[in-house]
Structure 1
């Protein structure tokens, strides 16, 4: 598919598969980048073309200014992804705050009468609609205190993210994404007519079992939930089992 280069900065495709019957768009967690899904592009069957989203301000787009306002990010992302949605059935997979992006992007598409995903996969995604206080505000904190709060909330060892080489690489993107999260205000809308799978971890300090299950109220279609061993970042250690769950749920989903 021919689209201007600006669109492909947002929608990457490390392993093009012209014969694929479905595109899987993947949304990374706060502070992450598209490389998190690099192995997905080769490990899923040839019938699936994996397209990780790369937000500005990180990795290959490090020199670009990051977007820090949720409505602006959703609107910009939606317009960048639209040219990729017309030819093949597609699904969205988002981990942590990437799941919130995938969910709100799906609602944006519905409001515009645009094509919708055949299935929505939300992994370790906080159900903001069920929280009295969506996100504790930490973006104003100095670096040391900010990283300490991130460590506590998500179970990341503080000595790991405080290392100079790690801190310098992830801190700017993490701060930008936290600002995005803090500017996210959930607005009630009717449930989606899109099948939804919600994945959680047994030892996640940020997203508990109730928040995994409460996503069933956001769809009138098929809902499935699963729990995997591990903490908030089970995405990597549980990748084979997670991919198998995605394949099973896609197999149960009716699409052209």
Structure 2
């Protein structure tokens, strides 16, 4: 019998009946799991998407939000371990908050004797580079909203919708707080390659603070910069997904060679 569906991710089946790799996609602050759903038709048929569903939004809207990012990582690692019984390789991708959560989940997976074939982090400074800017989650609503506007990640019609803001701005603020409250712990480097993806003009990710990602793996780290700001992955989607596909193909080859 098939294993029961996990409340922690929604699986978008691959076009192939025998997918070579599952890609777990971790959303950014305030986002639901569906933000990456359209990637299914833009990636190779042998890649299966598992879209991470966080409590407090989407179908889990009625659940309390997590108390810490470490708590989320532990829960996700346990669910990924449960889903990995067949030994099929998997990779982790996350953008912004999702990148930090994917990294901590990769660390937590070691307790289950597992490692992703690849970790792809997007729009996030190295995890050890903490506290370089002011705490944004404590800003008054008007100032916090200006920060969100400046990232260009939400349609203007939503930002001008008072009812939407009243409902979702607290979720976004709580996600910012999760990242700002998180404290980096020194641990052994990961046993998977890391690819770092960032926008050249992203004011929230100073490029020199990307360098520390190379300290988090013993399998090699590459950085790719794209034109654009914090949401370059949507602004330059075709170029971004071509790079993502290339890295995932390498992950498949690398796993097959082990």
Q: Report the TM-score when normalising by structure 2.
A: 0.87
RMSD: 2.3
Quote the residue 2:33 is aligned against.
Answer: 34
Residues 23-58 of structure 1 deviation map (CA, whole Å, 9 limit, x = unaligned): 000001011111110111222111100111010111
Q: Give how far 1:137 is off.
A: 2.5
Q: Give how far 1:237 is off.
A: 2.0
- Between stretches 75-84 and 29-38, larger displacement belongs to 75-84
- Between stretches 160-169 and 86-95, larger displacement belongs to 160-169
Quote the residue 1:223 is aligned against.
Answer: 221
Residues 94-146 of structure 1 deviation map (CA, whole Å, 9 limit, x = unaligned): 00110000111111112x14221100000111223134x16632334442233
Gap regions ≥5 residues in structure 2: none
**Residues 118 and 194 of structure 2 are in contact (CA less than 8 Å); yes or no, is this contact kept in structure 1?**
yes
Within the alignment, does 1:52 sit opposite 2:51 as a pair?
A: yes
Quote the residue 1:143 is aligned against.
Answer: 141
**Residues 199 and 212 of structure 1 are in contact (CA less than 8 Å); yes or no, is this contact kept in structure 2?**
no
Within the alignment, does 1:2 sit opposite 2:7 as a pair?
A: no
**Residues 200 and 208 of structure 1 are in contact (CA less than 8 Å); yes or no, is this contact kept in structure 2?**
no
C-alpha separation between the residues in 1 aligned to 2:14 and 2:205?
34
Cα distance change on mapping 1:26 and 1:156 into 2, 3 Å: closer
C-alpha separation between the residues in 2 aligned to 1:143 and 1:227?
32
Moved over 4 A (4+): 155-160
3-state DSSP of counterpart to 1:255: helix
Q: Give how far 1:155 is off.
A: 5.3
**Residues 70 and 104 of structure 2 are in contact (CA less than 8 Å); yes or no, is this contact kept in structure 1?**
no
Aligned length: 251
C-alpha separation between the residues in 1 aligned to 2:75 and 2:132?
23
Within the alignment, does 1:118 sit opposite 2:117 as a pair?
A: yes
Q: Give how far 1:77 is off.
A: 2.2
Quote the residue 1:191 is aligned against.
Answer: 189
Q: Report the TM-score when normalising by structure 1.
A: 0.88
C-alpha separation between the residues in 2 aligned to 1:2 and 1:136?
47
C-alpha separation between the residues in 2 aligned to 1:77 and 1:90?
13
**Residues 198 and 213 of structure 1 are in contact (CA less than 8 Å); yes or no, is this contact kept in structure 2?**
no
Gap regions ≥5 residues in structure 1: none
Cα distance change on mapping 1:157 and 1:28 into 2, 3 Å: closer
Quote the residue 1:70 is aligned against.
Answer: 69
1:14 to 9, 12, 33: 12
